[in-house]
């Protein structure tokens, strides 16, 4: 069964401009993406009308969470 966190990630926005959910970003990180550019390529985010401003912030927070000592 999906955890509450997983369910939330499926409904929460990841990249608002591209309409990509947070889940796709988390999946890309789990698949080994370690930078915004890698995640953007895998998850299909970025390059929207905010010029990646909103999703870039979210991703750097997520990367810090996943790799706190890197």
Q: Is 28 in the site for ligand FES (CB under 6 A)?
A: no
Q: Is 48 in the site for ligand FES (CB under 6 A)?
A: yes
Dist. CA 64–CA 32, nearest whole Å: 14
Site for ligand FES in 8-27 (CB under 6 A): 15-18
Q: Which of 26, 29, 43, 45 binds ligand FES (CB under 6 A)?
A: 45
Dist. CA 25–CA 22, nearest whole Å: 5
Phi, psi of 15 (to 5 degrees): -110, 105
41 alpha carbon, distance to own chain's centre: 11
Which of residues 2 and 33 has its CB atom nearest to ligand FES in the complex?
Answer: 33
Q: Is 42 in the site for ligand FES (CB under 6 A)?
A: no
């Amino acid at each position: 069964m999906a955890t509450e966190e997983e369910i939330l990630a499926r409904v929460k926005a990841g990249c608002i401009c591209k309409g990509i959910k947070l889940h796709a970003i988390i999946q890309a990180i789990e698949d080994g993406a370690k930078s915004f550019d890698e995640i953007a390529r895998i998850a299909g985010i970025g390059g929207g009308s905010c010029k990646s401003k909103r999703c870039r912030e979210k991703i750097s927070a997520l990367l810090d969470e996943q790799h706190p000592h890197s």
